[in-house]
Amino acid sequence: MTNKIVTIKNRAGIHARPAALIVNTANQFDSDIFLEKDSMRINGKSIMGIITLGASYKSEISISAEGPDEAEAVEALVKLFENRFEED
């Protein structure tokens, strides 16, 4: 299992557009992908799950993946967060 913690840098947090970017990226990989905030753990390939995290600016999210391409999956998702979902 590969795991990384990221901080949300875009001021709007995770709303519909960033959630869609996360899901589209996650679906490119065969690994099981999960996002966790506080004690809530959701499937990284579920747009509704991601939105229900209620992740706002400066929230910390744990990204984990398990499977044949887990390291690549986590790195691709970390890049989305670091690039602020191309918003600001």
Active site residues: 15
For 2, 66, 82, the CA distances from 75, given in Å and listed in that order, are 9, 13, 10
Q: Quick one: DSSP state of residue 7?
A: E
* CA-to-CA dists, residue 2 to 20, 23, 31, 56, 79, angstroms: 22, 18, 10, 24, 15
Is the Cβ–Cβ distance between 37 and 61 less than 8 Å?
A: yes
